[in-house]
Chain A
C-alpha cells in the first residue's frame, strides 16, 4: 500500500520535472533541488519496498517500521504530513507554477478580489497575492528549515558535549547558554539587525541561535541517562574512544527527543520569522514574506480582506501541520520506549 503511494509520488515528481524542464533556466537552483527531492522519493520508495520484502520473508519489524506504523495510524499527523508535502512542492516549484511575477505590479488591478487573472486577488500595489503567497511559503519554509537544522546541530553538539563529559565542561556550556538565553529575543534581534543590517543570512543566524538552550538542555538530559547505561560501559571496555562512543552509541539512543524537538520547532520558527517580518525586522520588502504581507494587509482590512486572510491562513496551515506532525512523531517515538 505504502510502497505504491511513495512510488506514485515519485512518478508525479518525475512528470513535473519533465513538464518544467524547458523552463528550468528560470531558476536552476530550485530545479536542482526539485531533482533532489524527486530522487529522494525514489530512494524512499525503494527502501520501503526492500523492507516490505524483508517483512514478507518473515523478519521481525524494525523499530523504524514500528514507528512508521504508529505514525500512519495517527490521522492528525498524517494530515500534517500531507499538507507539509504539498507546501514543500509548492515552495520548491514556486518559480514555475506561479501565474505572475510576485514583484510585478499591475496598476490596472489594484486591491482586486478573486478573478481568473488573479486567483486570490491583488494587493494595494496590484501584485498577485497567490504568486506572492507561493514565494512567501518558499521563504518561510526555506529559512525555517535551515534555521531549525542549524539550531538542532549546534544545540545537539553542545548538549552532547555537556552531558557526556560532565563536570566543568558541563557547567561552562550550560551556564553560558543560560546567560545567552536570558537576553530577550526581540531585543537581541533588533540589536543584531541594527549592528549588522538586515538580510536573510542574518535572520537565519538570529533565529537559529535563539533557541539553543531548549535543545541543549533536552539533549543533555537524555545523554545523562544514556551514558550511565551498561552498554556504554561495555563500549568503553572494548576500547572505543569517546568521540566514537558519542557518535555510534549515544546519538542513536538520544535521537527521538532530537527529532521531536526539531519537528515541533519548525512551526515555532516559522511563526517567529513571520513575527519578525510583521515587525519589519525580518525579510525586507519587496521580497515576499508571509509576515510582511500580513503586516501590509492589516492597513487595508476594510478594502481587501484577502490581503490579510490569505497569508494568515497559510501561516496557520504551515504551523498547524508542523505541530500536528511533530506531536505525531513524539507519540510514535515515545511508545517505542514503552514496548
Chain B
C-alpha cells in the first residue's frame, strides 16, 4: 500500500476563500483528499459545506473576485493545476477532467442540438471535424443508453426528459474519455428509479474507460452503493476521511455518527428520527475551535478554543477530532 504509484489527483491543504462585503467566507479551508485511477471518491456533507467549491477549485472556475484560492496545491498527474495558466487549464477541462452538474434541466443550451453540444468538446480537444463529431455523438448517445440515437442527435434539449438530459450530460462529459469525472450531485434532480439507472450507468462507464470519479452527494445511500473512499465535509473542512467500510462501520467523528444515526433503518420502527442538534454555523462567524463544537454531543473543554488535530486510524482513515487525540488524552 505504501509505495504505490502516485494518485491521479491529490489535493493538499486547499484553501478557497470568498471575500464578501461582510467578511471572508472560507468556502474550503484546508481540504486534503486524493483519488487513484479507476477509484470512486464520494464527498459528502450538507449544503454549503464546501463540496462544490472544492470541485470548482479543481477546475479553476472559482469566480475571482470574490473567490480566491489562497493556499494549497492541486496535483493532477504530477502537475500543480493552480500554477497553470488559462490556456493550459482550458486544455485540461473537458479533456482530462470532466464534470456533470446537478441540474440536467438547465445545464444544456436550449438553442443547440444535443449532437452539437456533445461534439463541441470533441472538436475543441480532439480535433474532430463537424461530421466526425456528429458520428461520435451518435455513438456516445448510444453508449449512455439513449434509444434511437441517430434521430435523437438532432433533438433540442426541450424534447428530452430529465433522465435523458442527464444521460446527454454524461455523454458530453465522457466524450473525450476523461481520466477524472467530477459528478456534482448528478442524481439530486431525478426521481428515484432514474437515480439508480444513472448511478449504474456512471459506474459501468467508469469501469469501461477506467476513469476516476469524484462523486459529490449528500445521499448516504448513494455513497454506500458506489464509493470506494469517502470524505465527509463540514464547514469547508474534511472532518473524516476513509474507506466506505471505515466510514459506515468505524465512524469516529461525532458529526458522522450523527449523520449515520439519522438514516432510517428499514427494519426498525421509530417514532422520531434522530437528528443532529442545532444548525450549521454562519460561515462568516465560525466557532473558534472545532467548527462542530456547538452541536457536538461529545464536546470537550478544549474543543471550544483549539482546532482539532488529525488523528489517523489506519493508512487511509483519519478524523479531525479531539476525542481521539493523544495530546488530549495526555491532558485528561
Give the B-binding residues of A (Cβ under 8 A). Answer: 59-60, 62-63, 167, 229-231, 233-241, 248-249, 252-253
Select one of B59, B112, B154, B156 contacting A237, CB under 8 A. B59
Residues of A within 8 A of B173 (CB): 238
Residues of A within 8 A of B109 (CB): 231, 235, 249, 252-253
Whether B103 lies near A238 (C-beta < 8 A) is no
Residues of B within 8 A of A231 (CB): 106-110
Query: How far, in Å, is B114 (CB) from chain A's closest CB?
Result: 12
Closest to A59 in B: B154
Closest to A244 in B: B124
Query: How far, in Å, is B272 (CB) from chain A's closest CB?
Result: 37
Q: Does B93 contact A (CB under 8 A)?
A: yes
Take A234-B172, A241-B90 as given contacts and tell me if A252 and B103 are in contact as well, using a CB distance cutoff of 8 Å: no
Size class of the contact patch on chain B: 20 to 34
Whether A230 lies near B159 (C-beta < 8 A) is no
A234 to B112, CA, bound (A): 13
A316 to B323, CA, bound (A): 85
Residues of B within 8 A of A238 (CB): 93-94, 98, 120-121, 124, 172-173
Residues of B within 8 A of A249 (CB): 109, 112
Whether B103 lies near A230 (C-beta < 8 A) is yes
Q: Does B327 contact A (CB under 8 A)?
A: no
Q: Does B65 contact A (CB under 8 A)?
A: yes
Known: A234-B108, A237-B93, A238-B120. 15 other contacts (CB 8 A): A231-B108, A231-B110, A233-B61, A233-B101, A234-B172, A236-B93, A238-B172, A239-B90, A239-B95, A239-B121, A239-B124, A240-B124, A241-B90, A248-B120, A253-B110
Query: What are 5 A-B residue pairs whose CB atoms fall within 8 Å in the complex?
Result: A233-B101, A234-B99, A238-B124, A239-B91, A253-B111
A235 to B106, CA, bound (A): 12
Take A236-B61, A237-B99 as given contacts and tell me if A60 and B155 are in contact as well, using a CB distance cutoff of 8 Å: yes
Binary interface encoding of chain B residues 110-138 relative to chain A, with 1 for a CB under 8 A from any of its CBs, else 0: 11100000001100110000000000000
Whether A239 lies near B65 (C-beta < 8 A) is no
Residues of B within 8 A of A63 (CB): 111, 156
Query: How far, in Å, is B190 (CB) from chain A's closest CB?
Result: 15
Closest to A238 in B: B94
A144 to B91, CA, bound (A): 45
A253 to B159, CA, bound (A): 17
Take A252-B111, A253-B110, A253-B111 as given contacts and tell me if A230 and B94 are in contact as well, using a CB distance cutoff of 8 Å: no
Residues of A within 8 A of B59 (CB): 237
Closest to B169 in A: A234
Select one of A235, A236, A237 contacting B98, CB under 8 A. A237
Whether A237 lies near B155 (C-beta < 8 A) is no
Query: How far, in Å, is A114 (CB) from chain B's closest CB?
Result: 52
Residues 46-100 of B contacting A (Cβ, < 8 Å) = 59, 61, 65, 89-95, 98-99
Query: How far, in Å, is B319 (CB) from chain A's closest CB?
Result: 32
A60 to B154, CA, bound (A): 10
A3 to B156, CA, bound (A): 25
Query: How far, in Å, is B66 (CB) from chain A's closest CB?
Result: 11
Residues of B within 8 A of A240 (CB): 90, 94, 120-121, 124
Binary interface encoding of chain B residues 187-210 relative to chain A, with 1 for a CB under 8 A from any of its CBs, else 0: 000000000000000000000000
Closest to A231 in B: B109
Closest to A237 in B: B99
Closest to B155 in A: A60
Chain A CB within 10 A, most for which of B89, B112, B125: B112
A103 to B206, CA, bound (A): 78
Residues of A within 8 A of B154 (CB): 59
A193 to B102, CA, bound (A): 58
Take A60-B155, A231-B109, A234-B108 as given contacts and tell me if A239 and B92 are in contact as well, using a CB distance cutoff of 8 Å: yes
A233 to B92, CA, bound (A): 15
Whether A234 lies near B93 (C-beta < 8 A) is no
Residues of A within 8 A of B99 (CB): 234, 237
Whether A230 lies near B125 (C-beta < 8 A) is no
Residues of A within 8 A of B95 (CB): 239
Query: How far, in Å, is B64 (CB) from chain A's closest CB?
Result: 10
Residues 135-161 of B contacting A (Cβ, < 8 Å) = 154-156, 159
Closest to B97 in A: A237
Closest to B86 in A: A241
